[in-house]
Copies of this chain bind each other. A is one copy, B any other.
Amino acid sequence: MELAPQQLMKFANDEGLGKRTWAIAEGYIPKDDRRKDRSMISHETACILNTSDHQAQIEIMIFFSDREPAGPFRVTVEPRRTFHLRFNDLRDPEPVPRDTDYSSVIESDVPIVVQHTRLDTRNAEHALMTTIPFAA
């Protein structure tokens, strides 16, 4: 029998681990459609960890250099789950434009932990970068 994490870990409580507001100032999805393998297509990811026992209702706003922000994009992350959200996959209310500088703000109704990663496969070889974003 698999135990829920709150029975195993010292941090565990109903509240969950993390912060409710995160900001990723970097954002850029290369215009790169040559790759067919989803794992190797250039992408920007916000990895979202919800250690709490509640579903996380999340709203994302995308900020641009030359127009008003877009959003809110809405995603949910189930209790005790991680969701590696690709900005490439956002469609509603609009797709994230390629080859365009942006930033994002991620807000959740329960504490979450976010990490930002980019895979860039514009060249034959790929490049990676990651960071913890700003948490408020």
* Contact surface of A with B, Cβ cutoff 8 Å: 2, 4-5, 8-11, 17-21, 23-28, 30, 39-40, 45, 47-49, 51, 59, 61, 63-66, 68-72, 80-84, 99, 101-103, 105, 107, 113-118, 120, 122-136
Can you list 25 residue pairs at the A/B interface with Cβ under 8 Å?
A2-B68, A5-B61, A5-B63, A5-B68, A5-B105, A9-B59, A10-B21, A11-B21, A18-B136, A19-B134, A23-B49, A23-B51, A25-B49, A25-B113, A25-B114, A26-B130, A63-B81, A63-B82, A64-B82, A66-B81, A113-B133, A115-B131, A125-B127, A128-B128, A130-B130
Provide the main secondary structure of the chain A interface.
Answer: strand
* Whole-angstrom CA separation of A53 from B51 in the bound complex: 31
Question: How far in angstroms is the closest Cβ of chain B from A64?
Answer: 6
- Give the copy number: 4
Question: How far in angstroms is the closest Cβ of chain B from A24?
Answer: 7
Contact A134 B18 (CB under 8 A): yes
Contact B126 A103 (CB under 8 A): no
Return the 8 tightest CB-CB contacts between A and B, nearest first.
A25-B115, A82-B103, A125-B125, A49-B103, A25-B47, A127-B128, A129-B130, A26-B115
